[in-house]
Amino acid sequence: MTASEGSTVGGVPTEVITFLSGKGGRSLIIKGGAGTGKTTFGLELLERVGQPNRSYYLSTRIGDEALFRQFPWLRTSEMRTRVLDAAKLFLDAIQASTRSRDIELPEVEQKKVRAGREVLASFGQERGPPTRVDRTHLTALLKRSPMPEVENVYQRIERALPEKSLLVIDSLEGVTHKYGLEMEEFVMALQKDLVEASSTDVVMILEKPEAGGIEYLVDGLISIQREELDERRVRHLRLEKLRATNIGRARYAVTLDGGRFQALGNAAGAPAAATTNSPWKPVADAEKYYSTGVPDFDKLLGGGFRRGSFNAFEVDVNVGVDDYYMLFTPTFLNFLSQGRGIIAVLAAGESPDKLRDTLVRHVSTNQFDTRVRIPDYSANETEEPYILPMGRYGREEAAKAMVAAERAVAGPDRKPFLEYMAFDTFESLMGDQVAIRMYFQGVSRTKHVGNLGIGLLKPGLLVSSEILNMMDSYFRIINIDSATCIYGIRPRTTIYAISPDPEKGAPHATLIPIV
């Protein structure tokens, strides 16, 4: 699978995939405070980057059964073999000591081999992948303290050679505290023996948010932080250093939903385009509700938008039209595909032509042209049947034109329709006081006749507080590390990332809870 920079593969940033997929070994430290998701990230790397029989997760903090309870997806036979409980490795090593060990060269001969390697490497003449794990630095540490589980891991990696292995150690403090080692000397041993001499990728998890000066020893450094945003939990992954790897995007919003680590969002400024042009299949409405066209959003709302409701969406300044249309496009399509119409007063930056191009990929052009009307207050004339050139009308003529538009979108069977209103348009044209009166009349009519109202609020509107008092629901759409997200103020919800449906593709969308 090929992925662009600044995106994800199976929830892991592509920069990290690229970093750990290069030739030779790489070392990576993952740091962060308690509860930030470091362990979950390490396990995700094990599955997404590591290969069966040559990827290992050495846990010094928690036994494998506890891991399986916390992360049930690890119970598959393939993943179980990768999780190495340090306690069990210690017993394995003790038992192995009573049996014959792998035959090793005498120390004098080993020194000769190492010296030869160093000379050849200095001239760039060493050929071929390694076939034995270098134990030079580990041997020096073993003279001070036996480390049977670490020796066991070295042996496993050696058995996999010349193929490249992945080792995840959780945590560095767990090993160094247990054996009274300095963290720097242990990291140096792994770097020299496994990463540089044995082409092994080593990921080390640090239990604290600061690396304490060992950053220079490793090839990569990632930090994970947790913060509160409007009293809601948010996690961020920061790519601080990935040697010889282009970092297209330095920060990702992160969720641990379902015990899986997932970095969210597309590349900055590149929202997902439609991935299918197939006809839209309507999502059925629940009783007394209109479906949003997004099953996850319907569930969040208790069935969808209530019939006769007006719903406000406050859009942050760094959220683009394409971003929030990921949420609105399914609603538009769900209305049109069921023979219902739309009246849309677009915001600055929204284009009637682009809206039409987006929707007619999934409904017929006739459906759009006959059941959609877009009042354009700057236009004096148009050849498009769906555009109302409101600039040519006086007050009375404009009112008549809107009545005619409502009849057109309702159709001969007088079906309810969707009223999409960008509040900034009216405020900029008429001023806040006139706009407020129009909003009040419009919202009241929508609720009375049973239509669906969607109102868009942009930053800096003078009428925002008055409008929100009229609304049945109130959501905010924000950008978190290039991921478009939504959360409810009324009703109160957690934060969700808006994403194209991974199975159906855009314009189908899903909501991923950020937990």
pLDDT digits (tens, 9 = 90+) for 334-361: 999 999 999 999 988 899 999 999 999 9
pLDDT at 398: 78
Which of the residue ranges 87-96, 142-151, 315-324, 400-409 would you say has the lowest mean pLDDT? Answer: 87-96
476's tokens? 């905010």
For residues 296 and 280, give the distance between their C-alpha atoms in angstroms, rounded to a whole number: 17
Which CATH superfamily is 289-513 part of? P-loop containing nucleotide triphosphate hydrolases (3.40.50.300)
Provide the total of helices (H) and of strands (E) in the chain, helices listed first.
19, 23
Q: State how far the alpha carbon of 85 is from the alpha carbons of 152, 293, 405, in Å.
A: 11, 46, 69
pLDDT at 35: 87
Torsion angle of C-alpha atoms 183, 187, 192, 198, degrees rounded to 10? 140
Which of the residue ranges 260-264, 310-314, 329-333, 397-401 would you say has the lowest mean pLDDT? Answer: 397-401
Residue 91's pLDDT band (boundaries 50, 70, 90)?
very low
3-class DSSP string for 283-348: CCCCCCEECCCCHHHHHHCCCCEECCCEEEEEECCCCCHHHHHHHHHHHHHHHHCCCCCEEEECCC
Q: Which residues contact 226 (CB under 8 A, 6 or more apart)?
A: 32, 33, 35, 36, 37, 233, 234, 235, 236
Nearest alpha-carbon partner for 363 in 247, 442, 280, 476:
280
Most confident of the ranges 33-42, 271-280, 325-334:
325-334
Q: Give φ, ψ of 143 to 5 degrees.
A: -65, -25
Nearest alpha-carbon partner for 292 in 319, 311, 265:
311
Please determine whether the domains at 12-206+217-264 and 289-513 fall in the same fold group of CATH. yes
Residue 433's pLDDT band (boundaries 50, 70, 90)?
low
For residues 105 and 111, give the distance between their C-alpha atoms in angstroms, rounded to a whole number: 10
**3-class state of residue 462 by DSSP:** coil
pLDDT at 268: 39
Q: Which residues contact 444 (CB under 8 A, 6 or more apart)?
A: none
368-402 in b/e burial notation, b at 16+ Cβ within 10 A? Answer: beebbbbbbbebeeeeeebbbbbeebeeeebeebb
Q: Which residues contact 291 (CB under 8 A, 6 or more apart)?
A: 282, 283, 284, 285, 298, 304, 305, 331, 334
Can you give the length of the chain in residues? 515
pLDDT digits (tens, 9 = 90+) for 162-202: 999 999 998 899 999 989 999 999 999 999 999 999 999 99
pLDDT at 90: 46
Query: CA angle at residue 168 from 162 to 173, to 5 degrees?
Result: 135
Burial class for 162, CB neighbours closer than 10 Å (0-12, 13-18, 19+): exposed
Cis peptide before 148 (omega within 30 of 0): no
167's tokens? 């080792």
**3-class state of residue 231 by DSSP:** coil
Nearest alpha-carbon partner for 173 in 164, 182, 165:
182
For residues 134 and 112, give the distance between their C-alpha atoms in angstroms, rounded to a whole number: 13
Q: What residue segments make up the domains of the chain, in order of their start?
A: 12-206+217-264, 289-513
396's tokens? 């009375």
User: CATH assignment of 12-206+217-264?
Assistant: 3.40.50.300
pLDDT digits (tens, 9 = 90+) for 228-256: 999 999 999 999 999 999 999 999 999 99
pLDDT digits (tens, 9 = 90+) for 443-485: 777 877 889 999 998 887 766 777 788 889 999 999 999 999 9
For residues 142 and 147, give the distance between their C-alpha atoms in angstroms, rounded to a whole number: 7
**pTM (predicted TM-score):** 0.83
Q: State how far the alpha carbon of 133 is from the alpha carbons of 104, 173, 188, 190, in Å.
A: 11, 24, 15, 11
**3-class state of residue 376 by DSSP:** strand
Q: State how far the alpha carbon of 387 is from the alpha carbons of 329, 347, 378, in Å.
A: 19, 14, 11
Residue 328's pLDDT band (boundaries 50, 70, 90)?
very high
Whether the Cβ atoms of residue 123 and residue 116 lie closer than 8 Å to each other: no
Whether the Cβ atoms of residue 436 and residue 464 lie closer than 8 Å to each other: no
pLDDT at 100: 40
Whether the Cβ atoms of residue 489 and residue 229 lie closer than 8 Å to each other: no
